[in-house]
Structure 1
Amino acid sequence: MEVPSSVDPSKNPFKRSRDYRIKPAEKPDSEDDDSYQPYIPVKQRKQMRIDQIRQNFRHSSSMEKEEESRVAAASEAQENESKSKVSLLDQHAELKKKAEQVIENEREKQLREEAILLQSVTEKRALMGVSELAMGVVYEDPIKTSWRPPRHVLAYSEEKLERIRAKYRIAVEGEDPPLLIKTFEEMKFNRAILKALKAKGIMKPTPIQMQGLPIVLSGRDMIGIAYTGSGKTLVFTLPIIMFALEQEKLLPFEKSEGPYGLIVCPSRELAKQTQDLIDFFAEHLEQAGFPRLKSCLCIGGTSMQSQVASLTNGVHIVVATPGRLMDMLDKKAFNLEVCRYICLDEADRMIDMGFEEDVRTIFSFFKGQRQTLLFSATMPKKIQNFARSALVKPVTVNVGRAGSASVDVTQDVEWIKPEARIVYLLETLQKTPPPVLIFAEKKQDVDSIHEYLLLKGVEAAAIHGGKDQEERLKAVSAFRAGTKDVLVATDVASKGLDFPEIQHVINYDMPGDIEDYVHRIGRTGRQGKKGLATTYVYKTVEPSILLDLKHLLLEAKQAVPEFLANIESMDPIFPDDNKGCSYCGGLGHRITACPKLQAIQTKETQNIGRKDYIPTGTADY
Structure 2
Amino acid sequence: MDPAPKRRRIQRSASPTYKLDDEDDSYEPYVPVAQRRLARLEKLAAFGANSEKENARKQLEEISEREDAEKEEERERERARKERTLLMEAQDVHSRKAAEDAKKTDVEKVEEADAEILAAIASRRKLASDLELAKGIQYAESLKTSWRPPKYILDRSDEQHRKLREKYHIIVDGEDIPPPIEHFVDMKIPDPMLRFLKSNKIVTPTPIQLQGIPTAFSGRDMIGIAFTGSGKTLAFCLPLIMLALEEETKLSFVRGEGPVGVILCPSRELATQTYENMLTWTAAIAKEGKYPRLNTLLCIGGISMGEQSHVLNKGLHVVVATPGRLIDMLEKKRFTFNNCKYLCMDEADRMIDLGFEDDVRNIMSFFKRQRQTLLFSATMPRKIQDFAQQSLIKPILVNVGRAGAANLDVLQVVEYVKQEAKMVYLLECLQKTAPPVIIFSENKNEVDDIQEYLLLKGIEAVAIHGSKTQEERQYAIKSFKSGAKDVMVASGVASKGLDFNDIQHVIIFSMPKEIEDYVHQIGRTGRSGKTGIATTFVNMNTPEQTLLDLKYLLMEAGQKVPMFLQSIDDPRAAQGGSLKGCPVCGGLGHGISNCPKLEDAQRRQMASHRAADDGGGY
Match of 1:253 in 2: 253
Give, in angstroms, the shift of residue 108 of structure 1.
6.1
Matches of 1:604 and 1:393, distance apart in 2: 31
Secondary structure at the aligned position of 2:479 is classed as helix
Check the 8 A contact 1:569/1:575 in 2, yes or no: no
Task: Provide, for residues 321-354 of structure 1, a one-character-per-residue CA deviation record: whole Å limited to 9, x for no partner.
Answer: 0111111111111110010001000011223461
Secondary structure at the aligned position of 2:166 is classed as helix
Match of 1:150 in 2: 150
Secondary structure at the aligned position of 1:414 is classed as strand
Check the 8 A contact 1:263/1:343 in 2, yes or no: yes
Check the 8 A contact 1:504/1:531 in 2, yes or no: yes
Give, in angstroms, the shift of residue 312 of structure 1.
3.1
Matches of 1:578 and 1:192, distance apart in 2: 50
Task: Provide, for residues 162-195 of structure 1, a one-character-per-residue CA deviation record: whole Å limited to 9, x for no partner.
Answer: 2221221111011111111111011111111101
Question: Structure 1: any 5+ residue segments left out of the alignment?
Answer: 1-45, 51-101, 615-621
Matches of 1:385 and 1:500, distance apart in 2: 35
How large is the Cα RMSD of the aligned pairs? 2.2
Quickly say closer, same or farther: Cα 1:363–1:230, change in 2 above 3 A. Answer: same
Matches of 1:414 and 1:486, distance apart in 2: 20
Give, in angstroms, the shift of residue 110 of structure 1.
4.6
Secondary structure at the aligned position of 2:412 is classed as strand
Give, in angstroms, the shift of residue 466 of structure 1.
1.3
Match of 2:95 in 1: none
Q: Which AA in structure 1 matches 2:286?
A: E
Quickly say closer, same or farther: Cα 1:504–1:353, change in 2 above 3 A. Answer: farther
Give, in angstroms, the shift of residue 384 of structure 1.
1.3
Q: How does 1:432-581 map to 2 (within 5 A)?
A: 432-572=433-573, 577=578, 579-581=580-582
Q: Which AA in structure 2 matches 1:380?
A: P
Match of 1:585 in 2: 586
Match of 1:19 in 2: none
Task: Provide, for residues 379-421 of structure 1, a one-character-per-residue CA deviation record: whole Å limited to 9, x for no partner.
Answer: 1122112222331100011110000001100000011111211
Check the 8 A contact 1:106/1:573 in 2, yes or no: no
Give, in angstroms, the shift of residue 574 of structure 1.
6.5
Check the 8 A contact 1:296/1:315 in 2, yes or no: yes
Match of 1:95 in 2: none
Residue 426 in structure 1 maps to residue 447 in structure 2? no
Match of 1:411 in 2: 412
Match of 2:604 in 1: 603
Task: Provide, for residues 21-45 of structure 1, a one-character-per-residue CA deviation record: whole Å limited to 9, x for no partner.
Answer: xxxxxxxxxxxxxxxxxxxxxxxxx
Check the 8 A contact 1:196/1:284 in 2, yes or no: yes
Give, in angstroms, the shift of residue 257 of structure 1.
0.9
Equivalenced residues, count: 516
Check the 8 A contact 2:462/2:480 in 1, yes or no: yes
Match of 2:5 in 1: none
Matches of 2:182 and 2:574, distance apart in 1: 44
Matches of 2:356 and 2:562, distance apart in 1: 38
Matches of 1:575 and 1:517, distance apart in 2: 28
Question: Structure 2: any 5+ residue segments left out of the alignment?
Answer: 1-75, 81-101
Give, in angstroms, the shift of residue 227 of structure 1.
0.9
Secondary structure at the aligned position of 1:611 is classed as helix
Give, in angstroms, the shift of residue 267 of structure 1.
0.6
Check the 8 A contact 1:502/1:523 in 2, yes or no: yes
Matches of 1:261 and 1:612, distance apart in 2: 38
Secondary structure at the aligned position of 2:581 is classed as coil
Q: How does 1:276-295 map to 2 (within 5 A)?
A: 276-289=276-289, 290-295=291-296
Check the 8 A contact 1:336/1:367 in 2, yes or no: yes
Matches of 1:574 and 1:479, distance apart in 2: 49
TM-score (norm 1): 0.80
Q: How does 1:210-229 map to 2 (within 5 A)?
A: 210-229=210-229
Q: Which AA in structure 2 matches 1:181?
A: I
Task: Provide, for residues 66-117 of structure 1, a one-character-per-residue CA deviation record: whole Å limited to 9, x for no partner.
Answer: xxxxxxxxxxxxxxxxxxxxxxxxxxxxxxxxxxxx9998756654543332
Q: Which AA in structure 2 matches 1:440?
A: S
Matches of 1:331 and 1:393, distance apart in 2: 34
Quickly say closer, same or farther: Cα 1:208–1:575, change in 2 above 3 A. Answer: farther
Secondary structure at the aligned position of 2:235 is classed as helix
Quickly say closer, same or farther: Cα 1:188–1:578, change in 2 above 3 A. Answer: farther
Q: Which AA in structure 2 matches 1:293?
A: L
Secondary structure at the aligned position of 2:597 is classed as helix
Task: Provide, for residues 456-500 of structure 1, a one-character-per-residue CA deviation record: whole Å limited to 9, x for no partner.
Answer: 111111111111112211211111111111111111110000113
Check the 8 A contact 1:569/1:576 in 2, yes or no: no
Matches of 1:327 and 1:585, distance apart in 2: 34
Quickly say closer, same or farther: Cα 1:554–1:220, change in 2 above 3 A. Answer: same
Residue 390 in structure 1 maps to residue 391 in structure 2? yes
Residue 175 in structure 1 maps to residue 172 in structure 2? no
Check the 8 A contact 2:354/2:601 in 1, yes or no: no
Q: Which AA in structure 1 matches 2:366?
A: F
Secondary structure at the aligned position of 1:586 is classed as coil
Matches of 1:317 and 1:477, distance apart in 2: 23
